[in-house]
């Protein structure tokens, strides 16, 4: 494959692997191949590395290494947490609380439990910034409630939810609390103990690690059914020969992210605000989606009235800027994003939205470039829009 020299602003979709991550993985592609379950030295070598990796990832979130279980990514971790808790708590109750802006790995799992397994799910509304209401959460809890699943930070609009407060409410009511922290890891401080998090999904490829490897943090003592049945790996809780190369890369990515957390947060927040303000100030009929301050340091999501997100993406692609839109047409559905609908955007505004997510490779001149190129792109698309004619 050729090296792409464009400007990448789609870090929320996935991130490139860091050089150090690749270097950490190489020995296990070239030589360290033993099955960790094997008795011989080949197996012992890789087993040791897996344990060390587990420790590094645990430290990043203030968990113990016994509480980290490797999965095939964030989606599997979400599925496991929700189905696992649901199936093992049937006797206690059948009610789950989540929000309308969760990732599909959470939403579709909940819908599956409702449809085929007799569970009842409350999907909490969010306000116009994408925040859940703690009062509504409290009111939704009933004696059948077994699980609250609310994401740490939203992948589309970047809003960061009040995780510590949610954890407190869950604990007071003796309900388990799961959070999808896929977007938060590497960007925000996470302390599973202080935040009373019982289960948490994370994945490597959103923080400069490899794809196809993630983890579920399960607080010690919590029982949940297995999702993947088979061998005795992951302390008999998740079968399948370990993805050693992935695990090593995941740990390296975690280690690098933690050593640079404050620095990168500061750098990205400055760039983010410049991008956000540069667009909002230069383009009329534009509106920020998501909370202005309680948001991921790398996320900008803006709606432009009278036009379609696809058009923006196409013209940005022509000037080699890679972004994402809030309308899901490209992914085969005509409905705009469920997140943008949940924050109350009317269809036409949700369709005209643009997500720019920045990261490690983003330079200030990239921000300047987008601020310069975007206004004529929006103007061009609007000049072709009959809706815009009427307001001019």
Ligand X SMILES: *Cc1c(COP(=O)(O)O)cnc(C)c1O
Structure token pair of residue 19: 């050089």
Q: How far is the CB of 370 from ligand X (least distance, A)?
A: 22
Kindly indicate which of the ranges 40-48, 115-123, 176-184, 228-236 contains the residues binding ligand X, using the contact rule CB under 6 A.
176-184
- Residue (205 or 295) nearer to ligand X, CB: 205
Residue 30: partners with Cβ closer than 8 Å, 6 or more residues away: none
Nearer to ligand X, 71 or 94 (CB): 71
Of the residues 155, 233, 325, 362, which one makes contact with ligand X according to CB under 6 A: 155
**In the complex, what is the shortest distance from the CB of residue 248 to ligand X, in angstroms, rounded to a whole number?**
17
Question: Least distance (Å) from ligand X to the CB of residue 48?
Answer: 26
CA–CA–CA angle 197, 201, 205 (5° rounding): 140
Residue 59 CB, nearest approach to ligand X (Å): 21
Q: Any contact of residue 183 with ligand X (CB under 6 A)?
A: yes
For residues 296-355, which are near ligand X according to CB under 6 A?
none
CB-facing half-sphere around the CA of 5: CA atoms within 13 A:
0
Q: Is 180 one of the binding residues for ligand X (CB under 6 A)?
A: yes
Nearer residue to ligand X within complex by CB, 153 or 321: 153
Strand spans (E) along the chain: 7-8, 68-71, 95-99, 120-124, 145-149, 176-180, 199-203, 214-218, 286-288, 299-304, 321-322, 324-325, 353-357
Shortest CB 182 distance to ligand X, Å: 4
What's the rounded Cα separation, in Å, for the pair 199 and 164?
13
Task: Count Cβ neighbours within 10 Å for each residue of 34-53 and write b for 16 or more, e otherwise.
Answer: bebeeeeeeeebbbebbeeb
Contact predicate 42/34, CB 8 Å: yes
Q: CA 314 to CA 322: how far, in whole Å? A: 9
For this structure, is 110 an active site residue?
A: no
Residue 73 or 352 having the CB closest to ligand X: 73
Tell me whether residue 205 or residue 351 sits nearer to ligand X (CB atom): 205
What number of chain residues touch ligand X (CB under 6 A)?
15
Q: From residue 196 to residue 225, what is the string marking binding to ligand X with x (rule CB under 6 A)? A: -------x-xx-------x-----------
Cβ at position 214, least distance to ligand X in Å: 5
Q: Of the residues 22, 26, 328, 329, which is catalytic?
A: 329
- Pairing type for strands 324-325 and 353-357 reads antiparallel
Positions 55 through 114 that interact with ligand X (CB under 6 A):
73-75, 78, 103, 105
The region of 180-188, 297-305, 339-347, 353-361 touching ligand X under the rule CB under 6 A is 180-188
77-114 core/surface letters (b: 16 or more CB in 10 A; e: else): bbbbbbbbbbeebeeebbbbbbbbbbbebbbebbeebe
Tell me the residue nearest to ligand X as measured from the CB: 74
Pick one of 24, 182, 276, 279: the residue that binds ligand X (CB under 6 A).
182
Position 278 contacts ligand X (CB under 6 A): no
Stretch of residues binding ligand X (CB under 6 A), selected from 36-44, 179-187, 262-270, 369-377: 179-187
Angle between helices 261-282 and 244-259 (to 10 degrees): 80
Nearer to ligand X among residue 67 and residue 161 (C-beta):
161
According to DSSP, the β-strands at 120-124 and 95-99 are parallel
Of the two residues 103 and 351, which places its CB atom closer to ligand X in the complex? 103
Active site residues: 329
**What residues line the site for ligand X (CB under 6 A)?**
73-75, 78, 103, 105, 151, 155, 180, 182-183, 203, 205-206, 214
């Amino acid at each position: 494959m050729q090296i792409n020299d464009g400007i990448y602003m789609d870090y929320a979709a996935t991130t490139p692997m860091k050089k150090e991550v690749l270097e950490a993985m190489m020995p296990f592609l070239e030589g360290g191949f033993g099955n960790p379950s094997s008795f011989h030295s080949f197996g012992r070598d890789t087993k040791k590395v897996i344990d060390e990796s587990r420790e590094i990832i645990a430290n990043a979130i203030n968990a113990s290494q016994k509480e980290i279980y490797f999965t095939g990514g964030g989606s599997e971790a979400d599925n496991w947490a929700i189905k696992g808790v649901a199936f093992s708590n049937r006797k206690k109750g059948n009610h789950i609380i989540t929000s309308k802006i969760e990732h599909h790995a959470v939403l579709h799992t909940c819908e599956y439990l409702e449809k085929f397994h007799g569970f009842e799910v409350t999907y909490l509304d969010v306000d116009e910034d994408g925040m859940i209401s703690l009062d509504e959460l409290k009111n939704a809890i009933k004696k059948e409630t077994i699980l609250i699943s609310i994401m740490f930070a939203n992948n589309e609009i970047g809003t960061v939810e009040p995780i510590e407060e949610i954890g407190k409410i869950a604990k007071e009511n003796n309900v388990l609390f799961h959070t999808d922290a896929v977007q938060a890891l590497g960007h925000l401080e996470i302390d599973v103990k202080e935040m009373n998090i019982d289960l948490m999904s994370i994945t490597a490829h959103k923080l400069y690690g490899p794809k196809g490897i993630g983890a579920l943090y399960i607080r010690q003592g919590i029982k949940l059914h297995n999702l993947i049945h088979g061998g005795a790996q992951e302390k008999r809780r998740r079968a399948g020969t370990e993805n050693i190369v992935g695990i090593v890369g995941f740990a390296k990515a975690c280690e690098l992210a933690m050593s640079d957390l404050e620095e990168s947060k500061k750098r990205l927040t400055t760039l983010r605000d410049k991008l956000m303000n540069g667009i909002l100030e230069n383009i009329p009929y534009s509106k920020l989606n998501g909370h202005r301050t309680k948001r991921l340091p790398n996320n900008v999501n803006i709606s432009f009235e009278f036009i379609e997100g696809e058009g923006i993406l196409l013209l940005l692609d022509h000037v080699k800027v890679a972004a994402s839109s809030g309308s899901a047409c490209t992914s085969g559905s005509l409905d705009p994003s469920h997140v943008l609908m949940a924050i109350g955007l009317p269809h036409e505004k949700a369709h005209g939205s643009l997500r720019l997510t920045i990261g490690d490779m983003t330079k200030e001149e990239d921000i300047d470039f987008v601020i310069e190129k975007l206004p004529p792109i929006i103007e061009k698309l609007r000049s072709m829009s009959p809706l815009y004619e009427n307001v001019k």
